[in-house]
A and B are shown apart, each in its own frame.
Chain A
């Protein structure tokens, strides 16, 4: 009790120093929480951009298909797989797709691209295809309706209602097949490679055009728990994986993004360590200043019989009180800032494309409970650790020498 009383009172002896040290610790905590929230927000946008735009959180496809979108590698009898998917409780949604490289031609121009045969209803819960429509209508009931990326439409110099000819090899006999479609809508996802190379037609039309029967090239999946997609022990994956059939989560589908996420984690860790290192140095400096200021007093305390451990404990407790006070101030500030930016977003100065993902003009940090529990604990722990060296110094003060030196 005496120790606590002394520690708290000592803390307020030099208000300015305590305030400045407190400011340093508080700022570090707030910056750390904000930075973590922003990075999580950015990763959320990036991962969401990848998984929610079109790719899905996982995909099932014939081995080798994704290497070069070879249309001949398709799931010829997907019924059993679809039955498993229908019965699986971890899934939120799935969407079967046909994906065929084709030549897409208008009256004015031709371009190479990918034709996606999609189920318009299932895509509603799977991708952002519906939300990406910026002009015209989503895939209508017409079997000849087609959605086209904005950049491709510009290059082909066509618009809503215009005719488009799709030319590709049939998957069964490699014969050229052609289909005439009419643009029902223009889509814009954001990333250039999507908007200049993709068209979407109803899946039945695609299966018929490319002679696929009931065959599919990929089944995109979305899980109730996002993390399930990359779990190596996922029961669904075990059920479906077979010779020649691949089941891959988005990390495996996008290894570059996985590496980037890992790099981001390291970067966060390094920034955090540097931030806390600076704060710790500030704390050590401040504690040493306070010890030197009280050298005579500590020497007297030791002379009259205060044990070294008591003196050391007092210094550590002062640091602890300082850290707790800083966290007490920093947490509400961080919470207010996080809540504000989570609602209003942090302006980034315009949209930008990063690794094929479009970051919006405003970044919304992700507010999570652990940021308000773990980070303050780290701050408290590091402050206490930072105080150990000064505490040992104080505990080892030689009374006779310090009394003489301080006078």
Chain B
């Protein structure tokens, strides 16, 4: 399998002087195509920081993040925006969606940014809505959907741009266990059927139970990298 993401000696510090803290302290990790990986660790261990660095949402102080061989840590401005749009799908804890757009429009949004022709967009949105089990609910605005349904729309949106990897930061944090489990099963299914690469940052036992690989982080360094 090919490597989708590779970090090399990634370091990210916050604060200055005596308050300087290395949230990520020299992490090197590779994620392969089709993996269902979870970065786990206690609060403040640096897992979200690592995910942000991998997703190009933050810039490292040292080291490189290679996505399909390109160093995204060196990208700025429109280049990094376009790269995220075309190569990375994001799912956050909550409030993922644009409230003034319907579920359909939220999924379509990213393709509009990509400049996908209208007919293709519409077909893709319907396909995504079907995949996440929200057929017929596309016209609803986020406020008219349950938390679980909103996260499903977020998954559909993340997949719509056909990214190389989907990064999910605590995607089940705001869901009840049943809904969370359903969402994770959906993502696991998409991973298995479509070969989509998922990388989670979590301390949710349900995600850990479903992950093929667990990367344990503590104090900004990898403590254990466990494949199952």
- Does A297 touch B at the CB level, under 8 Å? yes
Q: A2-B109, A296-B95, A400-B52 are in contact. Are A303 and B100 (CB under 8 A)?
A: no
- The residues of A that contact B86 with a CB separation of less than 8 Å are 305
Q: Are B77 and A303 in contact (CB under 8 A)?
A: no
CA of A401 to CA of B52 in the docked complex: distance in angstroms? 10
- Does B58 touch A at the CB level, under 8 Å? yes
- The residues of B that contact A304 with a CB separation of less than 8 Å are 84-85, 89-90, 109-110, 157-158
Q: Are B109 and A307 in contact (CB under 8 A)?
A: no
- Which of B49, B77, B78, B113 has the largest count of A CB atoms less than 10 A from its CB? B113
- Does A35 touch B at the CB level, under 8 Å? no
CA of A407 to CA of B81 in the docked complex: distance in angstroms? 22
- The residues of A that contact B89 with a CB separation of less than 8 Å are 304
- Does A372 touch B at the CB level, under 8 Å? no
Cβ contact of B57, chosen from A9, A296, A403, A407, cutoff 8 A:
A403
Cβ contact of B95, chosen from A297, A302, A305, A309, cutoff 8 A:
A297
Cβ of A233 to closest chain B Cβ, rounded Å: 55
Q: Are B113 and A306 in contact (CB under 8 A)?
A: yes
Cβ of B161 to closest chain A Cβ, rounded Å: 7
Q: A305-B81, A307-B82 are in contact. Are A6 and B110 (CB under 8 A)?
A: no
- Does A156 touch B at the CB level, under 8 Å? no
CA of A105 to CA of B78 in the docked complex: distance in angstroms? 92
Chain B positions 107-152 with a Cβ under 8 Å from a chain A Cβ = 109-110, 112-113
Q: Are A400 and B161 in contact (CB under 8 A)?
A: no
CA of A159 to CA of B216 in the docked complex: distance in angstroms? 113
- Does B99 touch A at the CB level, under 8 Å? yes
Q: Are B92 and A403 in contact (CB under 8 A)?
A: yes
- The residues of A that contact B113 with a CB separation of less than 8 Å are 305-307, 310
Q: Are A307 and B57 in contact (CB under 8 A)?
A: no
CA of A305 to CA of B88 in the docked complex: distance in angstroms? 9
Chain A positions 284-314 with a Cβ under 8 Å from a chain B Cβ = 296-297, 300-310
Q: Which residue of B lies closest to A8 (CB)?
A: B100
Q: Are B78 and A308 in contact (CB under 8 A)?
A: yes
Please give the number of chain B residues whose Cβ is less than 8 angstroms from any Cβ of chain A in the complex. Answer: 32
Number of A-B contacts (CB under 8 A): 70
CA of A10 to CA of B113 in the docked complex: distance in angstroms? 18
Q: Are B57 and A303 in contact (CB under 8 A)?
A: yes
CA of A310 to CA of B90 in the docked complex: distance in angstroms? 19
Q: How large is the interface on A (under 10, 10 to 19, 20 to 34, 35 or more residues)?
A: 20 to 34
- Which of A296, A401, A403 has the largest count of B CB atoms less than 10 A from its CB? A403
Q: Which residue of B lies closest to A7 (CB)?
A: B100
- Does B4 touch A at the CB level, under 8 Å? no
Cβ contact of A305, chosen from B48, B52, B85, B101, cutoff 8 A:
B85
Q: A305-B113, A400-B52 are in contact. Are A407 and B96 (CB under 8 A)?
A: no
- Does A405 touch B at the CB level, under 8 Å? no
- Does B46 touch A at the CB level, under 8 Å? no
- Does A399 touch B at the CB level, under 8 Å? yes
Q: Are A400 and B57 in contact (CB under 8 A)?
A: yes
- Does A238 touch B at the CB level, under 8 Å? no
- Does A13 touch B at the CB level, under 8 Å? yes
CA of A10 to CA of B100 in the docked complex: distance in angstroms? 7
- The residues of B that contact A303 with a CB separation of less than 8 Å are 55, 57, 84, 90, 92
- Does B98 touch A at the CB level, under 8 Å? yes
Q: Are B101 and A6 in contact (CB under 8 A)?
A: yes
CA of A307 to CA of B92 in the docked complex: distance in angstroms? 19
- Does B93 touch A at the CB level, under 8 Å? yes
- The residues of A that contact B95 with a CB separation of less than 8 Å are 296-297, 300
Q: Which residue of B lies closest to A304 (CB)?
A: B90
CA of A302 to CA of B84 in the docked complex: distance in angstroms? 9
Cβ of B90 to closest chain A Cβ, rounded Å: 5
- Which of B82, B89, B92, B157 has the largest count of A CB atoms less than 10 A from its CB? B92
Q: Which residue of A lies closest to B84 (CB)?
A: A305
CA of A407 to CA of B93 in the docked complex: distance in angstroms? 9
Cβ of A392 to closest chain B Cβ, rounded Å: 14
Chain B positions 57-114 with a Cβ under 8 Å from a chain A Cβ = 57-58, 77-78, 81-86, 88-90, 92-93, 95-96, 98-101, 109-110, 112-113
- Which of A301, A304, A305, A400 has the largest count of B CB atoms less than 10 A from its CB? A304
CA of A400 to CA of B113 in the docked complex: distance in angstroms? 21
For B28-62 the 0/1 string (1 means CB < 8 A from A) is 00000000000000000000110010010110000
CA of A296 to CA of B49 in the docked complex: distance in angstroms? 17
Q: Are B98 and A13 in contact (CB under 8 A)?
A: no
- The residues of B that contact A310 with a CB separation of less than 8 Å are 113
Q: Are A305 and B82 in contact (CB under 8 A)?
A: yes
CA of A388 to CA of B96 in the docked complex: distance in angstroms? 26
- The residues of A that contact B90 with a CB separation of less than 8 Å are 300, 303-304
Cβ of A31 to closest chain B Cβ, rounded Å: 32
Cβ contact of A2, chosen from B81, B99, B112, cutoff 8 A:
B112
Q: Which residue of B lies closest to A12 (CB)?
A: B100
Q: Are B82 and A13 in contact (CB under 8 A)?
A: no
Cβ of B72 to closest chain A Cβ, rounded Å: 12
Residue contacts A-B, CB under 8 angstroms, 28 given: A6-B98, A9-B100, A13-B99, A297-B95, A300-B92, A300-B95, A303-B55, A303-B84, A303-B90, A303-B92, A304-B84, A304-B109, A304-B158, A305-B83, A305-B85, A305-B113, A305-B161, A306-B81, A307-B78, A307-B82, A307-B113, A308-B78, A309-B78, A399-B52, A400-B52, A400-B57, A403-B57, A403-B92
Contacts from B to A (Cβ < 8 Å): 48-49, 52, 55, 57-58, 77-78, 81-86, 88-90, 92-93, 95-96, 98-101, 109-110, 112-113, 157-158, 161
> Besides A304-B84, A400-B49, 8 other CB < 8 A contacts?
A6-B100, A6-B101, A297-B98, A300-B95, A300-B98, A305-B85, A305-B86, A400-B52
